[in-house]
Amino acid sequence: MKSYAKFTTGLIIVWFAFAWSASALHLFQNNDNRIGLAVAFAAGTPIVVFSLWFAASQNFRRFALSLNPRILTSAQSWRIVGLTFLLLEAHSALPAVFAFPAGYGDMFIGITASYVAWKFADPAHRNYFVLWQLLGILDLVIAVSVGTTAGLISPQGPTMAPMTALPLSLIPTFLVPLFTILHVICIAQARTWKTALQRANQTASPVHQPAI
């Protein structure tokens, strides 16, 4: 497990360095009223790679499921940076059609993350925990969907160009896929809680011997 931890940490560092370097080289920059294929590719590739790795490797899956769900959930507190979208919209730097759902959605997840990690990250609150994780994924899906179609929805408003340049480009190319992966891991962990809880209940149940 330690080897997986070191390798995964190194992989995340390389991934962040790539996202930063590509942004610094303006590979994601797009002055049109859309995010562009380069950003979509950078955001989608890590999720696809993780999904395939998680499905194909039992050792990696065991490592991922062994991570502390409270830490993974608490990491979502960084989503409070969604406030940035609202501030930029107030200065006409981002379209409202993107800034409002993405900003308020991220802020909700960011503000509640620590509470959910402390209160619901256990088998007894499994359903609430999974529901919150699904809401977190839904927020990311809405943000990406609206971000890529903002030019069609509001063609006369501000463009999404700021999201394709540093530092904001790190949100769709690094943070969004990372947060999505953390949500998926937490949901997968919660699925194992149900099995473990059922086994515990079966073990605790008294065995009735047939009457003689």
Residue 8 lies in a domain: yes
Residue 200 lies in a domain: no
DSSP 180: H
What pLDDT score does 212 carry? 46
Residue 163 lies in a domain: yes
Residue 212 lies in a domain: no
Closest CA to 193 of 125, 93, 136: 125
What pLDDT score does 186 carry? 98
Q: How many domains does the chain have?
A: 1
Residue 204 lies in a domain: no
Cα 6–chain centre separation: 21
**Residue 19: which domain range?**
2-194
d(CA 72, CA 186): 7
Residue 41: burial class (beta carbons within 10 Å; 0-12, 13-18, 19+): exposed
Is residue 42 over pLDDT 70? yes
What pLDDT score does 204 carry? 58
Residue 205 lies in a domain: no
Residue 209 lies in a domain: no
What pLDDT score does 207 carry? 52
Q: For the whole model, what pTM was predicted?
A: 0.89
pLDDT confidence bin for 196, thresholds 50/70/90: low
Residue 208 lies in a domain: no
Range from 18-27, 36-45, 104-113 carrying the lowest mean pLDDT: 36-45
